[in-house]
Structure 1
Amino acid sequence: MTTETRPAGPRLNEVAPAFDAPTTHGRRSLEDYRGKWLILFSHPADFTPVCTTEFIAFAKRQDEFAALNTELLGLSIDSHYSHIAWVLNIKEKFGVDVRFPIIADLNMAVAQAYGMIQPGASDTAAVRATFIIDPEGVLRAMVYYPMNAGRSVAEIHRLLVALQTADENKCAMPENWTLGDEVIVPTPATPDAALARASEGYNTVDWYFSTRAL
């Protein structure tokens, strides 16, 4: 009986794997993004329909991400010149200017470090993986999509806002939380605190479930 050895991928709430790679905007390293949030996202290939829709969606919302102190960085296992040609094609055919850099990961170094290569899908193409990295270089969220289903850029934006808001307010977010919704108050850690919760002025359903407005 043999056991398959799986490569160690990135892990949440640990420092994201370092990289230094060529992009359409020159070389970029993880350290270049210190002090900013970073959304690093991979796609299977240039000049493919699903990937094109995703890049258009990211490009259209780039200014919204920038307003949240967040940079975008794409990646695929295509050449630098393929990326350039694809960006120009998107501009010509769809009227959308892709202004964020795209890593040319021909040696698959970044893709392997981030677990973007999933053998069940392909050994030579990165799946639709999205990583949210905070200003300290810590990986805060990662989302994987299959080859044949495009990701939701709106959901990635919502998740980023939720992470930033949770950090700022020391709280948690309920399902599908958006700005303006109430947030979840941290659960009491002792029996005495649980007994006192109902009198603390929150919207309390039970001792373990309380919400408040921001």
Structure 2
Amino acid sequence: MTWVVLFSHPSDFTPVCTTELGRIAVHQPEFAKRNAKCLAHSVDDLKSHVHWVNDIKSYCLNIPGEFPYPIIADPHRDLAVLFGMLDEEQKRDAEIGKTIRALYIISPDHKVRLSMFYPMSLAMSFKYCHDEILRCLDSLQLTDKLKVVATPANWTPGTKVMILPDVTDEEADRLFPKGFDKVSMPSGVNYVRTTENY
């Protein structure tokens, strides 16, 4: 079952969007390692997308081979409205009807598990955002697999996870036979338990 990273951009032939789509294309192998497919969305038509992809490939010279993911053509902005990027009234105005920058991570059961929204004037920082998208994918996939853990602030793969509060210590002993740590809190409530044995 495949995960999907769907990201939307205001329109074709815009300088900021060109850099963003190029960065995702360059890092496509990292998404493939996580069984995730990338899918772009823009409110322009298919012919426009074809010409824009050529520009992106020309600008971002290190895109390996063919352009690695499709771009949805949404000239009537119907998907943009369905995904909450535009209001129904906005979609008829060509200038206002450009979408915000949005990113969704969709799990194999077709549920939106994470969303990020940026205004038209602000590009995603793919130096950091790329790592964050992959970190989020890793966390979602891990917590789906284990069911009884959550990932703390600044978590990265291989570091400690937190055992959910509704898991008893006895259950945690059974689920994590190599052990877990209890963090003492001033309140006396021992609700923080961590493990790297997962």
**Corresponding residue for residue 205 of structure 1:** 183
Distance 2:57 2:72 in 1: 19
**Can you list the C-alpha shifts for 1:7-49, whole angstroms capped at 9, x where unaligned?**
xxxxxxxxxxxxxxxxxxxxxxxxxxxx211111100111212
How many residues align? The count is 174
Distance 1:196 1:40 in 2: 37
After TM superposition, the structure 1 = structure 2 runs for residues 64-213 of structure 1, keeping only pairs within 5 Å, are: 64-95=30-61, 96=63, 98-117=67-86, 123-151=96-124, 152-170=129-147, 171-188=149-166, 193=168, 201-206=179-184, 207-213=190-196
Tell me how far 1:92 sits from its aligned partner: 2.1
Query: Closer, same or farther in 2 for the Cα pair 1:51/1:196, shift >3 Å?
Result: closer
Q: Which runs of 5+ in 1 are unaligned?
A: 1-34
Q: Which runs of 5+ in 2 are unaligned?
A: 185-189
Distance 1:45 1:197 in 2: 49
Q: Which runs of 4+ in 1 moved over 4 A?
A: 193-198
Distance 1:196 1:82 in 2: 56
Tell me how far 1:116 sits from its aligned partner: 1.2
Q: Which has the higher contact order (CA 8 A, sep 6+)?
A: 1
Provide the TM-score with structure 2 as the length reference.
0.80
Distance 1:144 1:42 in 2: 9
Query: Closer, same or farther in 2 for the Cα pair 1:37/1:46, shift >3 Å?
Result: same
SS state of the match for residue 140, structure 1? strand
Contact 2:39–2:69 (CA<8 Å) still a contact in 1?
Answer: yes
**Can you list the C-alpha shifts for 1:59-92, whole angstroms capped at 9, x where unaligned?**
0111111121111110011111111111011222
CA RMSD in angstroms, aligned pairs only:
2.3
Provide the TM-score with structure 1 as the length reference.
0.74
Distance 1:98 1:195 in 2: 51
